Structure 1
Amino acid sequence: MLTSLSFDLQAAQVYRHVDANGNVVFSDQPAGGSKVQLTPLSVVPSTESLPPRRSTPSRVSSSSSSESTRAPAVDVAFRGYTTFTIQSPSNEETLQTGQAGNLAVRLGIEPKLRPEDKVRVTVDGAPSQSAMHSTVFMVPALERGKHVIQAELLDSTGRVRQTSEPKVVYVQRASVNLPRNPNNPANAGGG
C-alpha cells in the first residue's frame, strides 16, 4: 500500500500561479497557472535502533567468602559534594520594598559543580524554575510575607541527591493604599 501511495504522490501535478494580491499560490488545480516540475524526494532508509544497554550489576567477591554481592550501579556512580549550602541570602533576611520581591540566590558548592549535575531552587517546597548547571539563581516577584528557600542538587538522571539547609526570607511590599503610590485608587483622578 505504501508503494501505491508513493506512486500516487509522484503522479500528482502541482500548479503555480499569482493571485490578485500578488501572492504566489501552489495548487493541484490549473487555475491559469503553470506546471511545476517536482524533483524526486530523497529517501533514506531507516536503521534499526538497538535497545538501550543496561549495565549489569558488578559482582564483588570477597577473598574470605565465596558469596557475591551486587553493587547498585547508580549510587556507586554518584560522588557527593562536601559543601552544598545557600551562601546568600542569609537566614531570616528581609527583602525591602525596593527589591520588588526579586531574590538573588548564591550557592556554595565544593568541589566545583560537575558538568553532569544540576541545581534547582525551591520556594516553600516547590521548584521556582527548571534545574540548571549554575550556582547563582534569580527568583523573581516573591509575594509579601515569609518564604522558605532551599537548593536541591540533581544528578544526571534528575534524581535529587543533596539538599541544602533551609533559609527563611521575608519579603516586604508597598501597600497599594499608600498615599504616594501611583497605583493607589485614590490617586486615579488627581494627578
Structure 2
Amino acid sequence: MRILILILTLLTLSCTLLAQEKRIYVSRDANGVVIFSDSPSPGAEEITLTVRPNLMDPTEVKFPEPKPAAPEPFKVQVFQPEDQATLRDNTGSVYIEGRIKPRFQRGLRVRLVFDGLAYGEPQNSAVFVLRDIDRGEHTIQLELIDQNGKLIAISPVTTFYLHRASVISPN
C-alpha cells in the first residue's frame, strides 16, 4: 500500500513540474529561417505567450421539425384466383381473395367488380364467394372504398376461366 501511495505522489509531482510555464525563444539562422527553441541561444528573444482557455460561446441548436410521415397509399390486388387461371368447378363456385396493403383499417370497405359490373354491396372483408357462375372467361377487380364512399384504390383486372363439365359439352 505504501508503494502505491509513493507512486501516486511521484506522478502528481511530475505532472506539476511538467505543467510549469515553459520559456520559448525565437531566433533566425544565417539563411533567415525562423527557429523556435526552449533553450536560449545567442541573439534569441524570449516570447511571452498568454494562454487563454479554448472556450467557445454556446450556440443555439435548432433541429428541424419532424414532418409527419405521409401515409402509405393503399394497394389492392386479387390474390386468388391468379390472372389467366383456369378454375374447374361443376357447381360454378368461385372463391376470390384480395390483399390490401398497408394493413386493412376499420371503416374501409371492399367492392367486387365482376365482368365490369359491381357485384353485391361493399363489405368489410376482401374475401368473396360467387355461386352458380357460367362457364367461360370472366374478369374481376377489387375496389377499396373509404368511410365516405370515396374510391381510394383499385386492383388491376384479373382474368380467369371457369370450366364446368356438362353432359352436352364435356370439354
TM-score bucket (shorter structure): 0.5 to 0.7
- Give the corresponding residue for 1:126: 117
Q: Residue 88 of structure 1 is aligned with which of 80, 94, 106?
A: 80
Q: For residue 88 of structure 1, report the CA deviation from its aligned partner.
A: 0.7
Report deviation, 1:159.
Answer: 2.2
Which residue of the other structure, out of 122, 126, 135, is the alignment partner of 2:126? 135
How far off is 1:155 after superposition? 1.1
In 2, are the aligned partners of 1:95 and 1:101 still within 8 Å (CA)?
Answer: no
Measured after TM superposition, the shift of residue 97 of structure 1 is 3.7
Q: Could you tell me the TM-score, scaled by structure 2's length?
A: 0.53
**8 A contact 1:120–1:152 mirrored in 2:** yes
- Contiguous gaps of at least 5 residues in structure 2: 1-70
Aligned CA distance change for structure 1 residues 94 and 113 (closer, same or farther; 3 Å): same
Cα 1:133–1:79 change in 2 (3 A) is farther
Deviation at 1:178, TM superposition (A): 6.2
Give the CA deviation at 1:147.
Answer: 0.5
Q: Which of 95, 115, 120 does residue 104 from structure 1 map onto?
A: 95
Unaligned runs of 5+ in 1: 1-77, 180-191
DSSP-derived class of the 1:134 partner: coil
Over alpha carbons, which structure has the higher Rg?
2
**Residues 97 and 87 of structure 1: CA distance in aligned 2, closer, same or farther (over 3 Å):** closer
Number of residue pairs aligned between Structure 1 and Structure 2 = 100
Q: Distance in 2 between matches of 1:85 and 1:178?
A: 34
The residue aligned with 2:105 is 114
What TM-score do you get using the length of structure 1 for normalisation? 0.48
Q: What is the root-mean-square deviation in Å for CA atoms of aligned residues?
A: 2.1
Answer 1 or 2: which has greater strand percent: 2
Deviation (angstroms), 1:174: 2.4
Partner of 1:158: 149
The answer for the alignment partner of 2:135 in structure 1 is 144
The answer as to 2:158 corresponding to 1:170 is: no
Give 1:87 deviation, angstroms: 0.8
2 CA distance for matches of 1:147 and 1:164? 15
- Check whether the contact 1:104–1:136 (CA below 8 A) recurs between aligned residues: yes
Structure 1 residues 93 and 79: CA distance shift in structure 2, 3 A = same
The CA distance in 2 between the partners of 1:170 and 1:124, in whole Å, is 12
How many percent identity over aligned positions? 29
SS at match of 2:103: coil
Higher RCO, 1 vs 2 (CA within 8 Å, ≥6 residues apart) = 2
Report if the CA contact (8 A) 1:96-1:173 is conserved: yes
